[in-house]
Structure 1
Amino acid sequence: MRLPKLLLYLLFGTAVGAIGRSPYPTSVPSPKPSSFVVPTWDIHTSPQDGEALARLSLPGANVTDWHHISTSKCTLMGCLLHAGAYDDSELFFSDNLKSFNRSQFAVPWVYRNEFKLNPRPGQHYFLQTNGITSKADILLNGHTVTTKDFQVGSYAGHEYDITELLNAGPNGLLIQVYPTDYNYDFALGFVDWNPYPPDNGTGVWRDVVVRQTGPVALDALRVATDFALPVGKGAANVTLKATARNLENRNLTFAAQSNILAKSGGVPVTKTQSVTLGPYESVDISLTTTLTRPSIWWPKAWGSQPLYSGKISVLMCNSSSSDTVEQTFGIRKVTSSINAYNDIIFNINGHPFQVIGGGYSSDMFLVWDTAKFEAQAQYMLDLGHNTVRLEGKMEHPELYEVADRLGLMVLPGWECCDKWEAWQYNEDLAVKSDWAAHDYGIANASMRHEAAMLQSHPSLLGFLVGSDYWPDDNATAIYMDAFKSANWQNPIVASASKRSYPAALGPGGMKMDGPYDWVPPTTDRLGAAFGFGSELGAGVGTPELGSLKKFLTKEDLDDLWKQPEKGLYHMSTNVSSFYDRKIYNEALWKRMGAPTSLDDYLMKAQMMDYEATRAQFESVSAFWSKKRPATGLIYWMLNNAWPSLHWNLFDYYMRPAGSYFGAKVGARPEHVAFDYATKELYLINHSIDRRGPRTVSVDIVGIRGEKLASTAVRTTTEPNKSKSIHKLSPLKGATDVDFLRVVLTDEKRQTLSRNVYWTAKTIDRLDWDNSDWFYTPVTRYANYSALNQLQPAQVTATVTPTRGGLNGSYGHDVLLENQSSVPAVFVSLNLVNGAGGDVVPVFWSDNYVTLLPHEKLSLSVTSRAKGASAVQVRGKNVAPATVALG
């Protein structure tokens, strides 16, 4: 099967014409190859009469009463939100979504656009889809281009020759989309992440492209790079490949020319090859260039992200250009291997790469916002993440362009729990529609499209062809052939679990043993810190009050602390194991004491969230160099598809809270972590170039501020290593709750990390023998209730403006000083506007900090958002205060 030709947002050449709704089409004729994304749509429920549908695809059809959408891609719900028919802030408030009229999406809908072209002899035109959910009929100027029997699957991109169907002048394009059912369609589902969207994601959710070429057309550009290790010791070979097709019934001779140019500038490197094609013949063009001093692309924490532009052009004998394909790429090398414990280990540019990241979710209505994703990616890097996993949420080319530019690795793959994994051996599906012969065709088109879209991006770590279950042998062969056709150079992983694997791929080396709900900070057994955890987390991510008020009523807020076992609409679906906070709340009540108010509940929840995420990221980081290493962690989850009460490191409104800063501390580039079970301290180094002497200062104080112990440990650090450096001795005079402060400094006495733990006399005890797939029962809880008797602490905050923060934005330094003789516990700072609203996105050097008696601590904050006017300060035993920025 020929690789589908894709454009995917690379708008090269001169635009054929600006597209808009009739009666104002325009025309910019050009003989040059060109393309455009259909920029707007009119949508309406579909007429039942097929003849009426054909008439609507004719130029000049009356669509005055339709919804007019000024965006190029959107699901039905996304379109209606864009048109103002609904407001997601209202839909998401409390349980309003329950009463939404879903029946309107039980019938087909149509998308329509009218555009004008001026075709010339020798020009060829193609309509390119990049996946439509769930399936579609496409009509142009009253003619059927394709039907739902072929254009089916959310990721199944196809190309259709529309040259003979075009008018000189106005053209009418109509796409009829059919309702989606996750059990039977290859779509984008959400499993138990949140309620299903009312339209199940139906619609033209990715761009539709009209492309014009000359007599010879090129398929998608593929880029292959190769260089010898170690990095920096030699040249790199860059091969640009594309399939050229003769579209006419005559012999054609042309020059295929490659062009490679560093994005930073310089002189382009070109190569030319003469090619002759017979009538309708195809041939693979392959042009290799040697770069003597290549710029190597690195993940953000390890180096810079130099990018190149690669291009192949078809130049006819009369010097006219027939077609051009272009792609941005980076030069880097990713490999993987399976170690003796059947765990996967990735390598980047010759260095073992411990994956630290989270599981990403698209917006519930698949609304794409490049600026929002860039802020999310910056959050990930600020968290110390190096990778984001996309489970069946491959989004759009812009996502990978952002990741390429910022240096964030991406691990995409197919999703679980619906049609994508409806194998005979999958007994977990409530409704199972086993794959039939035509399903393998959909899978083929889907894999070829995604492989072509992803192939050149240096941010790609690999691809998971299975999530909870592995593909059968037939699907595996289809997937592997698609990767081969795309000149894929990244690892291909059988699945995210260790259930089994296809023989053609071998073991995937990842595990999916949980937890998914709350467990105490521990480093032992099951989903703990060994091997590669493809999705695991303690089920935390409680939003702060400013966010909660945006989607919960007063009664909903009361339920959080007054009804600890109640099912909550903003958790997961009502048939999910995660529909309530019962497990989480039992731990909060027994460890922290019964909450006395909503504010008290949220303070305790933020402490629980911070403690849980810090332990998870610290344990994986600390055990990187163990005999059986922790090779990777994908935290479940990074973000939410809608306002949610769990499973996030920052909430839907982009406010970072306790889970964020616990995770950030636990994944610092250089860090010292405390093991609750063994009382050991681990020195962690995530870099590939930092080395030398280090000092670890350890201080322990009691709940009343009394100094219980103090020591300094001198050691050395090695790049990309972790090791145990010290074991704490039993304390004399320990109180019910003590505070352990650990500070890591270098030879210049610069602080590299600072960390404060609250510790109890006993630790949580787990009932491992009765573990479930999503949590392990606790038979004895650590007792932190003494924190409720803390004496008040007086903390001052001095704010000073600075410049030179994130991307050169303005920021502020905040000097905190504990003026009391008792610890100031869990002090949080929040940047707010004049109305007291959260300013987001926001980047704090640290937050939710504990200061020992009379300790000073300087923090910094930057934000590119407008309107910041003050910093709110509060703590477990610190009264709320607001400090103006000045």
Structure 2
Amino acid sequence: MFNIVNLMRKKYILVYFLLGFIQFTGFSQQNYELNSGWKTISMEEVAARGEEISNTSFAVDNWKDATVPGTILTTQLNNDEIPDPFFGMNNEEIPDIYDVGRDFYTYWFVKDFEEKAKKGEQVWLNFRGINYSVDIFLNGKKVNKEEYKGMFLRKRFNITKFLAKNSQNRLAVIVYPAPHVGNPNGGQGGDGTIARGVAHQYVAGWDWIQPIRDRNTGIWDKVIIEKTGAVNLKNPHVVTKVPEKRLPGEKQKPAKIAFTAEVENPTSKTVEGTLSFKIADQIIEKEVSLAANTEMLVALPEFEIEDPKLWWPSGYGAQNLYDAEVEFSIKNKTSDKEKLKVGIREIQTEWNSHTRSKQIFVNGQPIFIKGGNWIISDAMLRFTKERYDAEIRFHRDMNLNLIRIWGGALPERPEFYEVCDKYGMLVIQDFWMSGDCNGRWVDPKKKDDQWTRRQYPDDHELFIESAADAVKLMRNHASLAIWCGGNEITPPQDILFAIKDSILPELDGTRWFIDYSNSDEMSYNFKGGNGDGPYGIQNISTFWEERTWPFNSEVGSVGTGDEVSLKRFLPKENYTVPVEYDGTEAVKDPVWTYHKYIDYGNSLEPYGTPEDMADFAEKAQLVNYNQYRALIEGFSAHMWDWYTGSIIWKTQNPWTALRGQMYDYYLDPNACLFGLREGSKPLHIMYNPVSSDVYMVNNGFKAEYDLMLGIKLYDMEGNEKPVTQVFSYIEGSSAKKILSLKKQIDTLAAEKGLFLKLDIRNKDQEVLDENFYWIPDSSGTYSGLQNLAKTKVEAEIEKVAENKFMLKITNPENNTVSFFNRISLENSETGERILPTFYDDNYFSIVPGATREIILEAAGNEVNDLQISIEGWNTDRMLIPVN
């Protein structure tokens, strides 16, 4: 029997669950995490069996404290047994599992907890991720009858009958490393054999990280105790359908909702009850009869929501999320209940025959993809909601709309997707293959030949089972847009067909599936080769004038942090200017090489040869800013003509690498972030430094009319050289050329270079966008900048909210341009930066007589005894106390 009625009851149970468009991190009041009080010891230090160890009488007082969730290495680091592997060359001091053997990193973990099942209750032990295999014991008995292995496979055990009558329970888990840990011989994924297991591959080393010595062995994700009645809810799934073309902010036609859930009856009797789903003041429900010791998938009838508040990607509309609830009740008594967050939206794709690439649509509207490649939040799996929030917010603040999760890492956690839903980031989720380890190329570093590696992993059934489970874990997020078979290679044929023809149609069926990350199905590879790149430092002309793949899955440049960032992980003796070596190493300094430095070539020379590390880092930021602004502006200028999107390789580092990052491991942004932020603005005016043409781009869906474009030039003394003001308009989701400045710039910049200021104003004279360029002299040198006069700016601070401030900076009229200023929120006692801090602009310039207002926020930090520092190319460091 089905019925829809008004929702009368107040929802009251807090859960984390991002469902299909939904947030699930799924816990009711009956759920709790076992995340403290764990003890651990090496297998080599204890002879007892699991049945003995899991008795509360077995003494563990001399065992050390364990970090769960966490890895062996994390526990060792937290117990001061190893040095920080992210600093200097400390990682070389830690024994590698390939050399010392798997037993060295095989550990017991013990947790005592109180729990007792009341009459009619079922108690469940849930593991959300272990690496690589475990045996589980509870109160003297083994819990898992079958082998539990595979890094990405969740497992749930009914432990009701194992619980102690006095409520005093002991859980004992022995964790074994993967059987094939790989030789970290310097290759991508070492010798490749790390891919023989169903786990991430980067832990054997890559071109952006050194090997993780324990290969991240451990109980790396959450361990949860869950209590239900006779029937347990599993894997709820909400599908939202948004037909036709929609516009944000308008009254909407109805959206259609479909819902299913798995229900399990572990008891010896048939159970009859009601499955209900509640959303937007509606309830839909169904009577269910469930035989003893069975589980079944229950589908509710599709229904409609009138005038839905839609979820949109960042930059296109609001990220509306509905509160929802799923419940199974027996005789009007709750057996299991979970709260959900639902984002109503629909993803569509079509082939753009002009660009010869796929085009993404959300709610019927075209989305020009501006994305970033994501490895993992922390290379040692130290995940927190706060760090996820900061990192995804940085991506939102860069005006990006998509994150691709690289196939050498993992299926991201529900907490990651929860934040992507919040900030409007579409996500491509790779499955766990990589061309490097899985046989795309001949590679002398690899142990096995291509044909052997092509069939990795050894256990295809485990991969398929893990893939199905990952789909169930992630499918319910509004942000999840695309599935991808693997990084630069398809999975083996049987795995590919299982994912493509069975798993996704049966468990999801709402998203585009790419067979591999640079597939012709995604982007026609008209140049041959690997289908992505280029990487590393580029001439600006590359981004504007040289056509690359029409939906480029990996394209990027450099990304070294500033001096403050470098000093966080470089020993003092390595404070140096990286100098190119003889070709066998990137630079002379071994620590810079160890941290995977990418050379800047001769790109810093136009600013003057760096004198020391501080000078190098300052000039590197100028290059960083220009590289990423030009990259995204060049792609945007050719929107729908050459390109349907691009994804930067890469936007973050989970380790202290010296390449490819918009912010460092410690969450300190560099100029890459702000150059990309500037170039990615939804409505934007920009300058092609190759042709000297001015362009405008509109990422919005509606045309913009009555726009005034302002164009001004400034010489190195700060004298204004007005060029023109132009009325213009631009259609929605388009780019166009406005005019050429070649004659003026060639003439005025010849001797010393100059500054170019562009802006867009509306009919109320409000500035909608502003862009500022520095242009070299006729020789390509920034001779004017090298001799730019000093400026002293005026600043004041206003607190606008808790942990949020407005900094007003004025450059007096008698100055020249105050160029390329970096501001930082700092602890006034130590001088250290408050991290993370979010700035609505940074690395900015101020023309004479102008004032800039910068909003900065230290979200989630306790901020006391603060100061703000200002320093720039021609502005000495100054400090402003925050009262």
The answer on whether the counterparts of 1:661 and 1:847 sit within 8 Å (CA) in structure 2 is yes
1:238 aligns with 2:257: yes
Mapped to 2, the partners of 1:389 and 1:379 lie a distance apart of 15
The Cα of 1:47 is off from its aligned counterpart by 4.3
Q: Which residue of 2 aligns with 1:24?
A: none
1:547 aligns with 2:565: yes
Which stretch shifts more, 35-44 or 55-64?
35-44
Mapped to 2, the partners of 1:652 and 1:853 lie a distance apart of 36
The answer on whether the counterparts of 1:105 and 1:199 sit within 8 Å (CA) in structure 2 is no
Q: Map residues 242-641 of structure 1 onto 2, 5 A cutoff.
A: 242-260=261-279, 262=280, 267=281, 269-288=282-301, 289-316=303-330, 318-340=331-353, 341-360=355-374, 361-391=376-406, 392-417=409-434, 422-423=438-439, 430-432=446-448, 433-435=453-455, 439-480=459-500, 481-498=502-519, 512-523=531-542, 531-539=550-558, 541-560=559-578, 566=587, 579-582=596-599, 584-589=600-605, 591-625=606-640, 627-628=641-642, 630-641=643-654
| Corresponding residue SS for 2:372 | strand
Distance 1:351 1:573, change over 3 A: farther
The Cα of 1:611 is off from its aligned counterpart by 0.8
1:863 aligns with 2:858: yes
| Aligned partner (choices 66, 70, 73) of residue 74 of structure 1 | 70
Whichever residue aligns with residue 270 of structure 2, its letter is N
1:738 aligns with 2:754: yes
Mapped to 2, the partners of 1:610 and 1:815 lie a distance apart of 21
Q: Which residue of 2 aligns with 1:151?
A: 148
Q: Alpha carbon RMSD of aligned pairs, Å?
A: 3.3
Distance 1:695 1:549, change over 3 A: same
Which stretch shifts more, 332-341 or 608-617?
332-341
The Cα of 1:465 is off from its aligned counterpart by 2.0
Q: Which residue of 2 aligns with 1:754?
A: 770
1:824 aligns with 2:815: no
Distance 1:816 1:394, change over 3 A: farther
Mapped to 2, the partners of 1:382 and 1:493 lie a distance apart of 27
The Cα of 1:659 is off from its aligned counterpart by 1.2
Which stretch shifts more, 306-315 or 364-373?
306-315
1:656 aligns with 2:655: no
Q: Which residue of 2 aligns with 1:189?
A: 201
The Cα of 1:606 is off from its aligned counterpart by 1.0
| Corresponding residue SS for 2:576 | helix
| Aligned partner (choices 35, 40, 45) of residue 43 of structure 1 | 40
Give 5+ residue unaligned stretches, structure 1: 1-5, 16-34, 763-781
Q: Which residue of 2 aligns with 1:790?
A: 787
Mapped to 2, the partners of 1:727 and 1:720 lie a distance apart of 22
Q: Deviations over 1:151-189 (max 9, x none)?
A: 222111223343443332333322222224234322223
Q: Which residue of 1 aligns with 2:683?
A: 670
Q: Which residue of 2 aligns with 1:172?
A: 170
Mapped to 1, the partners of 2:273 and 2:135 lie a distance apart of 36
Distance 1:272 1:635, change over 3 A: same
The answer on whether the counterparts of 2:563 and 2:618 sit within 8 Å (CA) in structure 1 is no
| Corresponding residue SS for 1:840 | coil
Distance 1:319 1:882, change over 3 A: closer
Distance 1:223 1:510, change over 3 A: farther
| Corresponding residue SS for 1:485 | helix
Distance 1:884 1:452, change over 3 A: same
Which stretch shifts more, 293-302 or 347-356?
293-302
Aligned length: 816
The Cα of 1:60 is off from its aligned counterpart by 2.9
TM-score calculated relative to the size of structure 2 = 0.85
The Cα of 1:744 is off from its aligned counterpart by 1.8
TM-score calculated relative to the size of structure 1 = 0.85
The Cα of 1:637 is off from its aligned counterpart by 1.9
| Corresponding residue SS for 2:578 | helix
The Cα of 1:543 is off from its aligned counterpart by 1.6
Mapped to 2, the partners of 1:610 and 1:437 lie a distance apart of 41
Q: Which residue of 2 aligns with 1:29?
A: none
Q: Deviations over 1:826-876 (max 9, x none)?
A: 232222221322123223332222344554444333334413633323322
Whichever residue aligns with residue 194 of structure 1, its letter is I
Mapped to 2, the partners of 1:224 and 1:506 lie a distance apart of 33
The answer on whether the counterparts of 1:451 and 1:488 sit within 8 Å (CA) in structure 2 is no
| Aligned partner (choices 837, 854, 874) of residue 842 of structure 1 | 837
Whichever residue aligns with residue 765 of structure 2, its letter is R
Q: Deviations over 1:47-94 (max 9, x none)?
A: 48775233112233211122223x541111223334454563xx4332
The Cα of 1:475 is off from its aligned counterpart by 0.8
Q: Which residue of 2 aligns with 1:875?
A: 872
| Aligned partner (choices 803, 808, 822) of residue 814 of structure 1 | 808
* Greater relative CO, 1 or 2 (CA 8 Å, sep 6+): 2
- Percent identity, aligned pairs only? 21
Mapped to 1, the partners of 2:765 and 2:245 lie a distance apart of 33
The answer on whether the counterparts of 1:7 and 1:209 sit within 8 Å (CA) in structure 2 is no
The Cα of 1:129 is off from its aligned counterpart by 2.2
The Cα of 1:537 is off from its aligned counterpart by 0.9
Mapped to 2, the partners of 1:333 and 1:275 lie a distance apart of 30
The answer on whether the counterparts of 1:592 and 1:787 sit within 8 Å (CA) in structure 2 is no
The Cα of 1:230 is off from its aligned counterpart by 3.2
Give 5+ residue unaligned stretches, structure 2: 1-21, 182-193
The Cα of 1:595 is off from its aligned counterpart by 1.5
The answer on whether the counterparts of 1:397 and 1:453 sit within 8 Å (CA) in structure 2 is yes
Mapped to 1, the partners of 2:272 and 2:668 lie a distance apart of 59
| Corresponding residue SS for 2:378 | coil
Q: Deviations over 1:658-698 (max 9, x none)?
A: 21211111111211111122222110122234621212222
The Cα of 1:483 is off from its aligned counterpart by 2.3
The Cα of 1:567 is off from its aligned counterpart by 5.3
Distance 1:99 1:38, change over 3 A: closer
The Cα of 1:7 is off from its aligned counterpart by 12
| Corresponding residue SS for 1:714 | strand
Q: Deviations over 1:805-838 (max 9, x none)?
A: xxx6430222230544643332322222213221
Q: Which residue of 1 aligns with 2:60?
A: 63
The answer on whether the counterparts of 2:252 and 2:308 sit within 8 Å (CA) in structure 1 is no
Mapped to 2, the partners of 1:693 and 1:335 lie a distance apart of 32
The answer on whether the counterparts of 1:511 and 1:532 sit within 8 Å (CA) in structure 2 is no
Whichever residue aligns with residue 557 of structure 2, its letter is A
| Corresponding residue SS for 2:793 | strand
| Corresponding residue SS for 1:560 | coil
| Corresponding residue SS for 1:203 | coil
Distance 1:366 1:294, change over 3 A: same
Distance 1:488 1:158, change over 3 A: farther
The answer on whether the counterparts of 2:823 and 2:868 sit within 8 Å (CA) in structure 1 is yes
Mapped to 1, the partners of 2:868 and 2:543 lie a distance apart of 39
